[in-house]
Amino acid sequence: MPNGSSCSASRGTVLAQRLAAQMTRIAGREIPAGVLDTTLYRDDLAGQPTRATRRTEIPVDLDGATVVLVDDVLYSGRTVRAALDALTAFGRPAVVRLAVLVDRGHRELPIRPDAVGRNLPSAKTERVRVTLTEVDGADAVTIEGEPR
């Protein structure tokens, strides 16, 4: 049973909080949600405009914990790689799982999610956008742009 979950973007944060709340209800014990900013662990910092960092909040000791990484859209996998690197700065979790709302394919690294809300095959020219009530006012997944 997981005893911690985190995420790597503000919509990921909201999803992690929703999941943690559900899991807390089902498990009958507190499953804390944290926030993990992956910016400083990215491998593409040189090629594009400097990214602003975000606050990281890990409310529990991760040594020996089961951690679920949560993000809204899984694409190249590079953010997840950075997140795995960032996590190890906080300790050595027993198990790390990956849960995403949308998997749109086009992986550039050998990373596969353990739980997927929806597989959404998409062209690289398309843009997949997740909106959430807490951030955007409504829950939705939209695909924009040309299918190729």
Partner 1 sequence: MSDHLLSTRGFTRDRAVTLLDVAEDMADTQRRQVKKLPTLRGTTIVNLFFEDSTRTRISFEAAAQRLSADVITFSAKGSSVSKGESLQDTAQTLQAMGADGIVIRHPSSGAAHTLATSGWTRAGVVNAGDGTHEHPTQALLDAFTIRKRRHGDDSRGRDLAGLRVVIVGDILHSRVARSNIWLLTALGASVHLVAPPTLLPTHTEGWPVTTGIDLDAAIDDGPDAVMMLRVQRERMTEAFFPTAKEYASLYGLSVARADRLPGSSLVMHPGPMNRGLEIAGAVADSPRSTVLEQVQNGIGVRMAVLYDVMTGERAA
- Please report whether residue 46 would count as binding partner 1 according to CB under 8 A: yes
Q: Is 37 in the site for partner 1 (CB under 8 A)?
A: yes
Quick count: other Cβ atoms within 10 Å of Cβ 40?
A: 13
CB-side neighbour CA atoms (13 Å) of 133: 3
122 closest CA partner among 98, 139, 142, 138: 142
Nearer to partner 1 (CB atom), residue 47 or residue 147:
47
Q: Is 88 in the site for partner 1 (CB under 8 A)?
A: yes
CA 89 to centroid of chain Cα atoms: 17
Q: Assess 53 for contact with partner 1 (CB under 8 A).
A: yes
Q: Does 54 bind partner 1 (CB under 8 A)?
A: yes
CB of 63 to partner 1, least distance (A): 8
Q: Is 5 helix (H, G, I), strand (E, B) or coil?
A: strand
Q: Establish if 125 lies at the interface with partner 1 (CB under 8 A).
A: no
- C-alpha span between 57 and 80 (Å, rounded): 17
* 135 touches partner 1 by CB under 8 A: no
What is the size of the binding site for partner 1 (CB under 8 A)? 20
Q: Does 2 bind partner 1 (CB under 8 A)?
A: no
Provide the 10 A C-beta neighbour count for residue 143.
14
Instruction: Please give the residue ranges that form the binding site for partner 1 (CB under 8 A).
Output: 37, 40-41, 45-56, 85, 88-91
